[in-house]
Amino acid sequence: MLIAAIACAAFCATYAGGLFALRLKDRLHLVLGFSAGAVVAVAFFDLIPESIAFGQGFHAPATLLLWTAIGFLFYLVLDRMQFFLGHGHGGHHDHVHDHGGDIRNFAPRGSLGAVSLSAHSLLDGIAIGTAFQASASIGAVVAVAVLAHDFSDGINTTNIVLKNGGTRQQALRWLLADALAPAVGIGLTFLFTLPQTVLGVALALFGGFFLYIGASDLIPESHHAHPKLLTTLMTLLGAAVIYCAVTLVSG
């Protein structure tokens, strides 16, 4: 029941982000700043420590940290693919318009970028399901972090479609696909259970994913047009909330 509620919440957060992008507000940088702190904090305070705890006896700590680096670099490659396909990240603060144009003007890279973002969201869902396989407490903390940045995922999806000549209707269809992707990812984890020997590696890998999403995507975007003290304070607040959540759950 809890998993279903999380899947529903992920859908709502992503879809709300896309709708928000269609009516872009000046306070968006505060949301992104908080999300950045939350996502990075989950990697540092939860996923990486838990990967070492679960992996001890099977892998050396250095090996698990290597998998964290691999996860970080994998997401870097995925992010660069989105950039070359149509600048999937980096448009949060551009004004979003409803093109209402001819469907023939929709560049193929818009679809490819939206597919890449949906794959990103699918991995988010798999991360949640895998974390719950480790323990309910780890799963809950990871779910909070995913929900914190799903809002920006919806913004990215809407932006990339509209920037490449897509109509509002096309943007909404891709937004729906992206919003459903985390639930699909969670569902896939019911089809397999990771053995203890692999669980530590998986958590380390997802730790790398979250570090990249937060440090290389959300933090720069939150300061893109608003390098203000309040944005930085929101990032610190996001990290503090996750730290307190991890401490409360583990305590």
pLDDT for res 97 = 43
Q: Where are the beta strands (DSSP E) in the chain?
A: none
pLDDT digits over 47-104, tens only?
A: 899 899 888 889 999 999 999 999 999 888 877 776 665 544 444 444 444 444 444 4
Instruction: Return the top range by mean pLDDT from 207-211, 227-231, 247-251.
Output: 207-211
Percent of all residues in the chain with a pLDDT value above 70, rounded to a whole number:
80
**Is a pLDDT exceeding 90 seen at residue 157?**
no
Cβ atoms of residues 208 and 9 within 8 Å: no
Residue 39's pLDDT band (cuts 50, 70, 90):
confident
pLDDT for res 101 = 45
pLDDT for res 127 = 87
Joined tokens for residue 51 = 């990967």
Mean pLDDT for all residues in the chain: 80
Reading phi first (left if > 0) and then psi (alpha if -120 to 50, else beta), residue 167 is in beta
Cβ atoms of residues 246 and 45 within 8 Å: yes
pLDDT for res 11 = 93
Question: Mean per-residue pLDDT for 122-149?
Answer: 86
More confident of the two residues 244 and 94: 244
Give the whole-angstrom CA distance, residue 90 versus residue 193: 36
DSSP H helices, 135-167, are: 136-163
List the domain boundaries for the chain. 2-23+56-250
Give the whole-angstrom CA distance, residue 50 versus residue 41: 13
Cβ atoms of residues 201 and 55 within 8 Å: yes
Give the whole-angstrom CA distance, residue 144 versus residue 39: 9
**Is a pLDDT exceeding 90 seen at residue 176?**
yes
pLDDT for res 175 = 92
pLDDT digits over 11-32, tens only?
A: 998 998 888 767 765 666 777 7
Residue 170's pLDDT band (cuts 50, 70, 90):
confident
Tally Cβ neighbours within 10 Å of residue 60. Answer: 11
DSSP H helices, 87-134, are: 108-134
More confident of the two residues 203 and 115: 203
Residue 251's pLDDT band (cuts 50, 70, 90):
low
